[in-house]
Amino acid sequence: MSQSACQPTRQPIHHSPAIRHLKDGHICSPQGFSADGAAAGFRPAKPECLDLAVLYSQQTAHAAGVFTRNLFCAAPVTVTRDSLHKESKLQALLCNSGQANAGTGEEGLKISLWKQQILQQKLRLGQPHYAAVMSTGVIGVLPDKDKIAAGLEKIKLGSDAHSARRFSQAILTTDTCTKTSAYRLEIDGKPVTLAGSAKGSGMIHPNMATMLAFITTDASVEPLFLQELLRSSVERSFNRISVDGDTSTNDTVLILANGLAGNREINRNHPDWKDFRQALEMLCQDLAKAIIRDGEGATKFIEVEVISAPTEQDAALCARHVVSSNLFKTAMYGEDINWGRIACAVGNSGAKISTERLSITLGREDDPDAICVLDSNNPRSFSEETAARLLSRPEIYIRINLHQGLSHANAWGNDLSLDYVKINAHKRS
C-alpha cells in the first residue's frame, strides 16, 4: 500500500459513453429552436456589427436561470429573474450587446419591461414574462428603444447553422470568437440534444466583463429539477473559472427545455437523470473553458485540480483561490513554478482543511515530464529545466493533493500578463 504522496487517491471520473459531442452542433440543434442576430447599431463605430440576438422555442419551455450575486445588478437581471419566478417558463429571449443597462435606475427597469412587451408582440407569446431579456456592455448607459425596435424588424428566425451563428455573434462584446458546444444522448430510447452559446471575456475586458450563457435542450425536464441541475452544473463550470474576484452586474446562465424530444419528464426518479446532468455539466464546462481561452491578454490556459479534499466545496475553494491569485497568475506568465505562491493561496482559500500534508505536482499523471515540487509539505528538488519546459506550454496543469479525503474539484484560469494591464487601463471612450 506504499504510495508516493504526490499520487492521487481518487478514482478517475467515468464519462458515460452514451453522451456524444456534436462537432457542428449549435444553439438550434435541439428540436424546435430558432434564432437570429441583427445589427441594431449600438456601436456607432461599427454599424454593421451584429448586436441584437433573439432565440425562440416553438413550444413554451420549462426554464431555469442562475444570476449574478452582485447586489448592484442590472435591470434586465432583475426583470428576467422576476419573470422566471412566476411560472418557470420561457419561450423567447432578447439580448442586446453594447449597453449593459446596469446602474440605470428606474429607467433601466422600464426599458427591460418594454423589451419583454415588444418581443411578446413580435413573437405572439402568451405572456410578456415568457420573454427573457438580457443586456451586456457599458455600465451606466441606457439601451436605445428605437434601435432595439428597428433591429428587431431585421430579425429572421431560422434553425440552421447560419442563423445560430448570427445569434452567437450578436451576444458578443469584446470576445474574439463565438463560444458554442452541443451534446446528444439517449433518454427513454429518444435522442435528446443539449446546446449552448456563451459570451464572456474572462476577467479581461474593461466595461464588458459580463458572462452570459444560453442553453437549449429538447429534453423534457421537471422545472424545479431543471433549476437544481442547472445550479449544480454552473457550480462545476462557470463558478470554477477565475473572474478576477468580481462577479459582473449582468452575469446570467439560462436554460430552456422545450420537451420536444418526447422523453418521459426527467426528475430525480427517472433512471437516466444522472446522464442528463453529466451532459449538461460537460456542456457548461466547454463554454466556461472557452471563455477562459478567449481571455484577451492571456498567454496560458491553466487548470488547477485539488484532490483528496474533505469536501468538494473545500476542494473548489482551494482550486479557485489559486487560479485567482495575482501572484500565482503573474508567476505563470513568467513561466516560474514558484510553489510558495500556490501553498500560500491554498492556505488563504477559506477552505476548512489542514495544510500539513500538502503536495503539489506540475503536469498530468500520464505526462512523463510531470514533477512533484512539494511532497507532504517537504520541498522536493526537481529539474528546473523540466519545470521550464512544462511551463512554456500554452496549457498548464497543476495538481494539489491535500491527503485528507476523497473529494476533488477543478478550476480554470489564465495568467496575468502585461497585455491584461494594457487592455484594462484603456479609457472607456
Q: List residues binding a copy of itself (CB under 8 A).
A: 69-73, 100, 102-105, 138-140, 203, 206-207, 209, 244-249, 324-327, 330-331, 333-334, 336, 338-341, 343-348, 353-355, 358, 374, 377-379, 416-418, 420-422, 424-428
Residue 202 C-beta: closest distance to a copy of itself, Å: 11
Nearest to 242 by CA among 301, 286, 284, 297: 301
Cell numbers 441541475: residue = 229
CB of 350 to a copy of itself, least distance (A): 9
Please report where in the chains the cell 514533477 appears, as a residue: 371
Q: Is 210 annotated as a binding residue?
A: yes
Location of C-alpha cell 447560419: 162
188 burial via Cβ count (<10 Å: 0-12, 13-18, 19+)? middle
CA distance 98 to 169: 13
Catalytic residue, candidates 80, 210, 249, 252:
210
191 vs 33: CA distance, rounded Å: 16
Which amino acid belongs to residue 209? Answer: A
What are the helix (H) ranges across 66-158?
Answer: 75-87, 105-123, 145-154
Q: Is 429 annotated as a binding residue?
A: yes
Instruction: Give the full edge-to-edge strand order of the sheet including 359-362.
Output: 378-379, 371-375, 359-362, 395-401, 301-309, 407-414
**Rounded Cα gap, residues 212 and 71, in angstroms:** 17
Alpha-carbon distance 399 to 409, whole Å?
Answer: 10
The CA angle 410-415-332, to the nearest 5 degrees, is 90
Indicate the residue among 99 and 120 with the shorter CB distance to a copy of itself: 99
Least separation in angstroms between CB 409 and a copy of itself: 17
The distance of closest approach from Cβ of residue 344 to a copy of itself in the complex, given in angstroms and rounded to an integer, is 6
Nearer to a copy of itself, 57 or 250 (CB): 250
* Shortest Å, Cβ 94 to a copy of itself: 22
Q: Which residue, 206 or 310, is less far from a copy of itself as judged by CB?
A: 206
Comparing CB distances to a copy of itself, the nearer of 158 and 340 is: 340
Q: Any binding-site annotation on 299?
A: no
Q: In the complex with a copy of itself, which residue's Cβ is closer, 228 or 336?
A: 336
Q: Closer CB to a copy of itself, residue 100 or residue 198?
A: 100
386 annotated as ligand-binding: no
d(CA 232, CA 200): 20
Please choose, from the candidates 69, 108, 114, 109, the residue with its C-alpha nearest in 3D space to the C-alpha of residue 94. 114
Q: Which is nearer to a copy of itself, 150 or 344 (CB)?
A: 344
Task: Return the percent helix, strand and coil in the chain, to nearest 5.
Answer: 30, 25, 40
- Residue 179 known to bind ligand: no
Alpha carbon distance 336, 373 (integer Å): 12
State yes or no: is 216 an active-site residue: no
Q: Rounded to whole angstroms, what are the CA distances from 264 to 87, 261, 281, 303?
A: 20, 9, 21, 37
Give the Cα separation of 35 and 41 in Å (integer).
19
Q: Is 361 annotated as a binding residue?
A: no
Annotated binding site for substrate: 173, 199, 210, 296, 424, 429
Annotated binding site: 173, 199, 210, 296, 424, 429
Catalytic residue positions, numbered: 210
